[in-house]
Amino acid sequence: MSPQSNRLLRRLSTGLVVYGAVGIVLAVLMIGAIVVLTGQLDTTVRRVSDNLDTISATVDKTATALDQSSSTSASFAATIGQAGPTLQKVDDTLSATVTTLHELESTAAGVSILGQTPLASLASRFGSLADTLEALQGQVSTLHDNLADNQANLVALGASLSDVAVQLRQVDAILGSGEIQDSLGTTVAVIRWLMVLLVVMFAVPALVAIYFGVWIRRQMATGGPAGDTTA
């Protein structure tokens, strides 16, 4: 082998060794990065898991509170429903009483003895009482109508609260199932193995390059095929 070829082989061996050394350094740095990064990811996963447990407990308590509110709303609506007929009876009674008092007012005002109306003051009182009860009847009627509307609103509110509680319990079931934590753990494992694969992709060619670089130098040193200068 000519001196020029010998120099080229020496440069090649040097280049292979340098390339391999750089590859080994990069592989070591990547191993350190894997350790740091996956450690941080594991810590993050643990924190997320703890936070999810806290959120799950909060969601469960919220759903329980909504269920209780829904029950209270339904109970109050039932109570209002029971009060409705009573108020209607009071309204009817007041209406009949007002009519009777107006009739008594007319009758008392029409009594005349020797041109005198001795029951005029009594008729005035009947009329005043009738007016007062008529105003009260209006308030009772308005209260009855308002209670009916409020009862419907409470029933709708109770149904809405119950629906929200059901949805929250579904969310709580997902949070408490561990699916999210398992998915995060799987993701971290995939990242770890991908980075290990990259390390291998750097390390294996680097080791091969170093091996061949050293092999070439040994062959040149021992006068083997790579170092034969007689050709």
**Alpha carbon of residue 146 to chain centroid:** 36
Residues 77, 155 contacting (CB under 8 angstroms):
yes
| Block mean pLDDT (10 aa), the chain, length 231 | 71 84 87 85 82 82 84 78 75 81 75 62 76 80 76 79 84 77 82 85 85 82 54 38
Domains of the chain: 3-227 (1.10.287)
Amino acid identity of 74?
Answer: A
Please list the residues that pair with 116 across neighbouring strands: 113
The phi and psi torsions of 32 (rounded to 5 degrees) equal: -60, -40
Q: What pLDDT score does 2 carry?
A: 63
- Residue whose C-alpha is closest to residue 128's, from 152, 102, 146, 151: 102
Burial call 194-218: b when 16+ CB within 10 Å, e when fewer:
ebeeebeebbeebeebbeebeebbe
Q: What pLDDT score does 117 carry?
A: 61
The DSSP 8-state label assigned to residue 116 in this structure reads B
Q: What pLDDT score does 231 carry?
A: 38
Alpha helices in the chain (DSSP H): 3-110, 120-177, 179-222
Q: What pLDDT score does 230 carry?
A: 42
Q: With both helix axes pointing from N to C terminus, report the angle between 179-222 and 3-110 in degrees, rounded to the nearest 10.
A: 170
Whether the full predicted model's pTM is greater than 0.85, yes or no, is no
Q: What pLDDT score does 115 carry?
A: 59
- What's the Rg (C-alpha) of the chain? 48
- 62/74 Cα distance (integer angstroms): 18
